[in-house]
Amino acid sequence: MAPIVSVPAPPFFEPGAPPRLVPHLIVETDIDDISPDMIPILLQDIDMTKPLRRNVRVLTPPPRRRSVSAGPTRSRASSKAPADNSPGSDDDSSVLSSVPEDDEDEEESVSDDEELLAGEDVVKIPKPAGEVGRPNRGGYKLEDALQWNTAQMRVFKGLIHKLVDDHLDPTLSMAGQSERRMRLVRDEAIKRLPDLAMYDQEWPLIDAVKQRLKYTSSKARQHAHDAVSLTAQKKARTQRK
């Protein structure tokens, strides 16, 4: 065999095609620990009565711990396969390294889905155009806008009437009510009917309270006017006598 001669290469040397392989017999090579005696030549040299035994070493990867964080983002911990310098460690390490990669890919996909869901904005039901109680003048009717059944509307209106009577001044319109009491009515209504939170700024609740206060304040003004008229009539009768 010709001696190997090293030749200095320039810094930006680009190798070309590899040289053509020259076939050699195994006895003509200078590889140590290999001789023709180690390789059976005939099939009769192999004892087929003895079963072939192979020592298979199975390594179970340790359980991976997933870290839980309180923030919106999740920390992704990377796991490494344990190093083994014993014979056959190359095969074992390749098997172990493939298991965490699949688990990590699954965890990343789950984490991405959770982050996507956390980042999505909840779309609420918008308020119709116009003013409530004026369907023929560019507004809408609350029952038609909600499209609830009769039982749901009965429960909803009964709750609004009770909250207005308990917490608000029925003689005043909605503009004259206390902001603190309006928040109390809102919290109580959402607590009783959680579906109201699906609407933008709880507009069904605001519309129902507005309509109820409009009715009660109108009735209060009518009663006050009737009381004044009755007092005037009594005074006129007294003067005639």
User: Does 104 reside within a domain?
Assistant: no
φ, ψ of residue 199 in degrees (nearest 5): -100, 145
User: Does 199 reside within a domain?
Assistant: yes
Q: Give the residue ranges of the chain where pLDDT is below 50.
A: 68-73, 75-100, 116-119
| Number of domains comprising the chain | 1
User: Does 162 reside within a domain?
Assistant: yes
pTM of the model: 0.46
Residue 195 belongs to domain spanning? 148-240
- Give me the long-range contacts of 137-142 (CB less than 8 A, separation at least 24): 142/204, 142/207, 142/208, 142/211
CB 111 within 8 A of CB 67: no
User: Does 14 reside within a domain?
Assistant: no
User: Does 179 reside within a domain?
Assistant: yes
User: Does 182 reside within a domain?
Assistant: yes
The pLDDT, as a whole number, for residue 209 is 92
User: CA dihedral in degrees (66, 67, 73, 76; nearest 10)?
Assistant: -60
Q: List pLDDT tens digits, range 221-234.
A: 887 777 777 777 77
The pLDDT, as a whole number, for residue 155 is 94
